Copies of this chain bind each other. A is one copy, B any other.
Amino acid sequence: MNRSISEVINDSHNSRTESFDHQSMTDDEHYVQKRKSRRIRTLIKSSVEDIIHDKQTEQSHNIRNIRRNSATSLFDRRPFPFGHCRVCMDKATGAHYGVPTCEGCKGFFKRSILRKEKYRCYFGDGCVINTDNRNRCKSCRFQKCLKEGMSVEGVRMGRIPKLVKEKALAEHHLSSSSIENDDPSSSIASTSPSCLSSINSNNLTSTDMNLDLIDEPFFLDDFESVSIDTPSTTSPSCHSYVLPENLTVDETKTNHKENQSIFFFT
């Protein structure tokens, strides 16, 4: 009983570790493997990293397909159909603050907003942001975030109902069937200039469509096609936000939720 405090605490087990005692070995191995590969990713750069990651993604995808009907694992995640980060061209993990971005740009934008950071570019405000140099100039990275339409007000206005989404998708395919989505080789300027308010009021997230249908990256560049097609367009407060008078740091989440409620007014 002469153990130090740190020893005692280290001996105590967390819930996650305990839960693995009762899970299958495949899950455990999968978890360990993910941990391992994360460390590898930290050490090794560029192409090797991509190869490992792709293999892993493919593997988890296969596993998910195998036991889609039997064991629903919350850890198995299919690759996100969001293409590349609009800011740094890294792999996008979802629509964060209204824009498909990677985890890094998501966190960077969040930190910048919460702390109201004022950055300054030391290279003439013309830095081109990519995955490797995105941490070199915070000012230009944040500017890129804003330019791409990231906004705390554009957060998750609610998912598009299925009917609306299908309609929008149909229109999307009709109007612009030849749009190349998320081509990394395409220049930044080729991205359609996105109206901030339009994005905000018509945030479209990729809900779970039929898994078999998701083969291609799906993200609508033109949100306008989805925009006002909501069946109950008569309600006046549906399309206008109530912007907060004082956007303080602590009220960010609250403001977002208020906006969210507006969208669901039907």
- In whole angstroms, how far apart are the Cα atoms of A204 and B32 in the complex? 36
Q: Which chain B residues lie closer than 8 Å to A185 at the CB level? A: none
Q: Is A163 an interface residue (CB 8 A)?
A: yes
Q: Is A64 an interface residue (CB 8 A)?
A: no
Question: Which chain A residues (54-77) contact chain B, with CB distance < 8 Å?
Answer: 69-72, 74
B13→A12 contact, CB < 8 A:
yes
Chain B: CB-nearest residue to A139: B15
Chain A 239-259, CB within 8 Å of chain B: the 1/0 string? 000000110111111101111
Chain B: CB-nearest residue to A11: B16
Q: Is A173 an interface residue (CB 8 A)?
A: no
A18→B16 contact, CB < 8 A:
no
In the complex, how many angstroms separate the beta carbon of A17 from the nearest chain B beta carbon?
Answer: 6
Binds B, one of A36-44, A87-95, A216-224: A36-44
A256→B253 contact, CB < 8 A:
no
Contact of A259 among B111, B114, B261 (CB under 8 A): B261
A15→B74 contact, CB < 8 A:
no
Binds B, one of A19-27, A98-106, A123-131, A205-213: A19-27
In the complex, how many angstroms separate the beta carbon of A30 from the nearest chain B beta carbon?
Answer: 10
14 residue pairs of the A-B complex, CB under 8 angstroms, read: A8-B9, A9-B41, A12-B37, A13-B36, A17-B32, A18-B118, A19-B116, A19-B117, A71-B167, A74-B111, A248-B251, A251-B252, A252-B258, A259-B261
